[in-house]
Structures are given as C-alpha cells and as structure tokens.
Chains A and B, each alone.
Chain A
C-alpha cells in the first residue's frame, strides 16, 4: 500500500484551509484532514499532475467524498498521467461501496468509461466492469437512485434496449420486491425508452409485456408501481392499444363486482377514467366513493377529477 511518506513533500507549502475573521459553520477539522487538504490545495494551485497528486486526491476523497473539486482534479491527473483506466474504475468501486449517496462518483465513472471506450473494442468487456458493482450496490439498497441512474446511462450509451441481460435484471428485482418502483422505471426504459410515443410496436410483444404486468398486479392489486406501468404502456401506444380494453381487468378489484378479492384504489381510478366517455355518472360515483371511503386523504384530488369530467 502506498503511504504519505512514500513521496517527497518538502518542496510544497500546504495551503491552510482559509478562514474569514468571523467564520460561520466553522468545522473543527482533524489534523489528518487539514494535512491532506492543505497539500491537495497546494498541488492543485500549481496544476501539478503527478503520482503524489494522484495519491493525495485518494486521501481527501476517502475522508470527504463530496469534495467535487478534488474529483475534477483527479480526473485531470488521470488524463495527464495516462493512468490505467480499468484500475481507476476499481478504485471508484471501493469509493462507491463506502459512499452510497455520493453524487460525484457516477459522472466521474462515466467520464472514465468514455475514455476507456476509445481503447476497448468490445462493449461487453466494458460492461463486465460495470455489472458486478451495480449488482452489489442494488443488493445493498434496491432503490439507490444514483445506481439506477447509472444503469440508465449505460442502457442509453450502449443501446441495451430489450437486451436479455437488462430485462432479466429488472425481472429479478421485481420478483424480489414487486413494489420496487426503481426496477419498474428501469424496465420501462429498457423496453420502450428508444421508441417514440404514439408510434407503433409489435402487438405480440406488447401483449406479452401486458400479461406479465397483469400477473404482477394480480399478485398485489394495491401496488401503484405495476398499475402505473400498465397504464403507461397503453398511453404510449394509444395508436394500437385501447385503454377501454382494461375495463374487465380493472373492475375485478372494485366494488362493481360481487365479492372482490380486494378493493384497489388504482383499479377504481382507472375504472372511473374508462367510464368517463360512456357513463359519466358512474365515474362520478367512483370518485365520490374514493373521496369518502377509500382514499379520503386525496378528497381534493377526487373532486378535481370530478370537475374534469364535465370540462372535456
């Protein structure tokens, strides 16, 4: 392991962490932090791109990972010294594991991948570097926004739409927790992210996706994630799909059938929407019921929906 003493520092005067005469929110820094930050600032000031500068950025980021200035500096060092990019991603992995909510890691990683892309022939080889990290981090926190966002970036960058790997990944996450909204969101991107709204799509393909989604709704009819996903498919492909076709499916989770297994707010809302063309009274009745009985916290919203019935 490389340590501070491995480098020569005598020629550098560390820059003190500047303070005003009457500081606000002054932090009582540790001696360790003062030291590494002081040297980092001094090296940065003289735009030094060297091994010791590379070393000191690691020291700072390990203590305070949100120091975006140091991230930017490190990137410049990596470029100047032509560091091994795969090793750089490995380093990044470790920082990511320790700092689940850090903002800087991901755009940094993306910059490194873009450099690496120029050196590598195979996208698969690149992706092999990404998947283990993403798998572990999603396992730790299945809804980590930054990690899902990075995965979205990979899908867009390398055109991974409808690839088996991505579809299976979202499948696994949804099977593990059908309420994992991040997984549903990612699935929508993977399935339809590159397709324009209101365009056509293979009907058979859509049918399979609809069946899968309905299965997940049957499993848990109160889950907004799966209902939102289902309706989004119908909305996106309204040229070939009719929302009215969902009537029979939705109605089974409402009071409109005898002995419903469970009453679902989402099913009631969808049913009311479907009826708004053919039977406004029925829609109104449902909104009223949602407002008084099933979902009173949103009574203002239900009355807004009721008003909309007569505006269109």
Chain B
C-alpha cells in the first residue's frame, strides 16, 4: 500500500469523516468522485490470489500489477489526469496532413477506415472541419466509390461492406451536406441486396466473410442513405438473435464465442430495426446479455475486455461500453460503472505525446484513438429514445435518439467530449445535419 493511501486510511480512522479527508488530500474538488472510485477499484484483490495459475492468470496478473502501480501513484499525488485534448488533436491532425510511412501498407485496403477514425476522433475532440479538409475527405472517399454502388477500402479495390460503412460515415463527417447525393442510392441498394444471404445475414463481398459486422455495416449504410426496406432486412433480426451465445454476448456468427465487437454490431444492428426496449427482448435473452456485458468491466482496471477471461483493452470502452446505452434503455436501469471506465481511459489510455491506446505499454494508433474517445463520450452522456421522434417508417428508430450530458458538477470541463450517436458511432450533430436534408 502506498504511503498516501495509508495516510488516507489513517485520516479516515481518526477523523471518521470521508469528506474532510478528501478536502485535505485531494487537490482538486472536481475530482473527488473519481478519486473515491479509484480507491474502490484498488480495493480489488486481483487475480494473483487465485490458487491455480494458468496462462490466462499469468497474463492477467501482469496487467493488474502494472495498472495497480499506476493507480497507486495517482492516489499518492491526489491528482487525476485530464483529457489532453490539444495533444490528441495534434496527433490526429498530424496524421491527416502527413504521408504515412511504408509500414502502413498493411492498412492499404483500409483507407476509408483510416480517414474515418482520424476525422471522427478530430470531431469528438471538438475540432472543426474547414472547407479544404471537407473537400479532401469527400474527394478521397468518393474516389473509392465503385460502379456497383459500394465503396472499396482504397483505390481500385472491389466494394466491401465494412469499408463502405467507414466511407459513408466519413462523408457524413465531411460537413458537406450534399455529398451523400453523389451516391446512386438505387445501385447501392442493389449491391447490398446482392450480398444478402438466405439466412438473413450479409457477406462482405461475394466470397468474403459473413458476420455481425457485415450486418451492422449494411444496415447503417441503408439507414443513413434511406434505402432500408423490408426486403433488405427480411430474416436479419432472427439471424442476429441466433448469434447470441450461452454466455449472453454475441459471436460473429451463430456458434462462435461471445465477443465485444461482434456484440456491439449485433445489438446496434437490432436497434436500427426497432426501439431497443422492444427489439432486444424480442430477439434475444436480455438478462443474459446484461450479465455478459457487465462482466466485461474489471474491478481493478475499470476498463473492459472483449471476451471472458481476456485482458482489458481501451477499444472495448466503445465496443462493449457502447452496448450499454441500449441496455440501459431496455432495462430502465443504470448498469455501467462510468466513473471507473473514465478512470481507466484518462489514466491508462492516454499517450503523453498524443493519441490513445489499448493499455499502458502499448502504442497509440488511429483505431484505438477513435474508439477510446467514443468510450469517453459514453461515460459523459446518456441516451434517450424519444417516441415523439419516431415514425412508422422502417429504421426510423435509429433517428429517435437524444443524447444528453450527464450533469456532474465534479466533471472537469477539460474532459468534455462531443456526444456520440449510439448506433452510428459518430457525433450526434453530424447525424442530425445529414438527416435534416
């Protein structure tokens, strides 16, 4: 136990009042809730105490030791880090403006993703897209648009469903409200339909993999472009329901292990087809999904993992964290420990020179920067589903969300981040702007 922690305990015993202790030890009034949470997190005995050690515990204990040390030193100082908005924005801006080294060839088929992750992060951090950037985004993304109505992951690549999701989202972010009209919606519709399989699922491209990511991305594209039809989604909700495993989360396809990324895609895709409080209970076992989701959060780390007995990773702040807005609407209960997740993100996921990461010791990258920021947004907001915004139209439910900042007088405004659309994963205002037209 650290000296400061001992001191805190001593004060508690002597003074018998938590509040006084905090005023003496914690420098910043605004952070007392986060510090309290950190103390509770540190009270975890961790996995090292388990009798039978295996490879899983060996790796888990290593991560716990690292993180415990970091948290104890924070408690010593009594000062929590805030979001380094300026640093992260420069990190993102730098990569938007520079050429990428040859090592990025591995991501050559993921151009729409790289652009999406960077621009989305930039906007979540409060950045503004100027006209030049807006043109660059649309010009580049549209250069990946194929004759068949889908987007490839780069120049000259065949259309791919998840590349197309990133492309359409990037266009929404571009701040050019007419850019979506450059897509021939009829063609895109026919292309999506051509990837639909008999069982209700979708494949990425002919011969490509089938999984809940493909379903989610296909439904988001159709939803944003206004081409969602009963024909396109016949059997899809039922197929998604079959992906729920005995653990409660969703696998990529029926029978595969429950996994954070695939679970988000399944639950968000279902929520395009109807209000979460109706559609989730209709197609899956809600209680078991809640049980699996809450168990992804670690007592000590505060962050989440993507599967049972795997390690914490900042990106699951979004993939698993992002399931909670739907669960909280469906159950009408708070279910996530937002303060603990916030501690993990702010303390463990920020790289000093900008960018966000999986966990301490890992390097930041575009992917983690985006999804950790999405997770932070989740910690600060609550989603409401407003029946007044609903229409009879299929898919209308996706546009009936209001996302409000959780009123927390202790929240340091330096940490503020834009509200995120629970289904699409982009800032609320970018969805609204595109919707109005």
Q: Write the residues of chain A forming the contact surface with B, with a CB cutoff of 8 angstroms.
A: 15, 17-30, 33, 41, 63-69, 71-72, 75, 103-104, 106-108, 111, 142-143, 145, 148-149, 152, 156, 176-182, 185-186, 188-189, 193, 219-220, 222-225, 228-229, 232, 235-236, 262, 295-301, 303-304, 307-308
Contact = CB atoms under 8 A, between A and B. Distances in A.
Given A188-B246, A236-B246, A297 B337 contact: yes
B51 A75 contact: no
A304 B56 contact: no
B111 interface: yes
A22 to B, nearest CB: 5
Interface residues of B, number: 81
Given A71-B207, A222-B50, A301-B335, 12 more contacts: A22-B140, A24-B140, A26-B99, A27-B105, A30-B105, A66-B108, A66-B110, A145-B256, A182-B257, A193-B255, A220-B51, A296-B43
Interface string B102-131: 101111111100110010000000000000
A41 B155 CA distance: 10
B143 A301 contact: no
A311 B253 CA distance: 33
A66 B111 CA distance: 12
B150 to A, nearest CB: 12
Contacts of A27: 99-102, 104-105, 107-108
Contact of A28 (B102, B333, B336): B102
Contacts of B340: 297
Contacts of A299: 337
B118 A297 contact: no
B310 A104 contact: no
A148 B299 CA distance: 28
A69 B109 contact: yes
Interface of B: 40-41, 43-44, 47, 50-52, 54-57, 95-96, 99-102, 104-111, 114-115, 118, 132, 135-137, 139-140, 143, 152-153, 155-158, 160, 204-210, 245-247, 251-253, 255-259, 287, 290-291, 294-295, 297-299, 302, 307-310, 331, 333-337, 340
B308 A225 contact: yes
B51 to A, nearest CB: 7
A22 B299 contact: no
11 contacts: A18-B155, A23-B140, A69-B109, A108-B207, A142-B55, A145-B252, A149-B253, A180-B55, A225-B308, A296-B40, A296-B43
Contacts of B108: 27, 29, 33, 64, 66-67
Contacts of A72: 158, 205-208
A17 B256 CA distance: 37
A235 to B, nearest CB: 7
A103 B209 contact: yes
A143 B335 contact: no
B115 A24 contact: yes
Interface of B is mostly: loop
A299 B297 CA distance: 12
Contacts of B111: 25
A232 B247 contact: yes
Contacts of A298: 294-295, 297, 337
B309 A225 contact: yes
Given A148-B256, A185-B256, A232-B246, A297 B41 contact: yes
Contacts of A20: 139-140, 143
Given A156-B255, A220-B50, A28 B99 contact: yes
Contact of B54 (A111, A156, A177, A193): A177
B109 A66 contact: yes
A29 B102 contact: yes
Contacts of B143: 18, 20
Contacts of B153: 68
Given A33-B105, A66-B110, A236-B246, A25 B115 contact: yes
Contact of A235 (B44, B109, B246): B246
A307 to B, nearest CB: 7
Contacts of B257: 145, 148, 181-182, 185-186
B331 A30 contact: no
Nearest to A65: B106
A299 B169 CA distance: 36
Contact of B204 (A68, A179, A225, A262): A68
